[in-house]
Amino acid sequence: MKAIIQRVTSAKVTVGDEVVSSIGRGLCVLVGISADDNANDVEWIARKLLNLRLFDEPSTGKRWTESVIDQRLEILCVSQFTLYHRLKGNRPDFSRAMQGPEAQQLYGSLLKKLRDQYAPERVLDGRFGAMMQVHIQNDGPVTLEIESPVQSEQERQKLQRSLDHQAKSAGKNTGKPVESVERSVESNTK
């Protein structure tokens, strides 16, 4: 998972003439999801976004000391599949990006994690899959790129065991057959 993070004084997303979301001071984050991403990548990106020290300490002016949480600022996330491109000659190829429903679900889990770990009203987003216009007033300008680390096979297996356990528990609690829950979990981790 990759994120382009921009420190902003304001940002908004429009679709056509409709303003979908807008924030004041905080972070505007373009989020790309690769075909190999899973819940571990979501956890890593969420932790980084909430804890990056991109803001000055107000009373002392000391630079790069406070996070978005420290200053109770806003985050505007925008799904951006084009971050996982490669060029074939002069034409971009997006085959490394995760496709539609799976990407939307993983992107949704990132938003949920950010909202759960911070404040739901301070984490906004655009409209997944829409042709959006992103308007930003970059502050600094400050723009960073981060990407979750490649996971070892052992880490992937550990995540799969955890998801399998959750699926079995969910199957017992919901009365759904365990096999259908496991199939759902498998499709979400690929």
- Give the C-alpha separation, 123 to 128, whole Å: 15
Catalytic annotation present for 189: no
Instruction: Name the amino acid, one letter, at 109.
Output: S
Q: Which parts of 53-132 are beta strand (E)?
A: 74-79, 86-88, 91-93, 123-125
DSSP state of 159: H
- Give the C-alpha separation, 110 to 108, whole Å: 5
- Give the C-alpha separation, 2 to 101, whole Å: 18
Catalytic annotation present for 94: no
- C-beta neighbour count of 92 within 10 angstroms: 10
Catalytic annotation present for 81: yes
Q: Are 124 and 75 in contact (CB under 8 A)?
A: yes
- Give the C-alpha separation, 64 to 52, whole Å: 9
Q: Are 73 and 55 in contact (CB under 8 A)?
A: yes
Considering the candidates 82, 133, 157, 174, report the single residue annotated as catalytic: 82
Considering the candidates 9, 14, 80, 154, report the single residue annotated as catalytic: 80
Q: Which parts of 33-114 are beta strand (E)?
A: 74-79, 86-88, 91-93
Considering the candidates 65, 71, 81, 133, report the single residue annotated as catalytic: 81
Which residue numbers are catalytic?
80-82
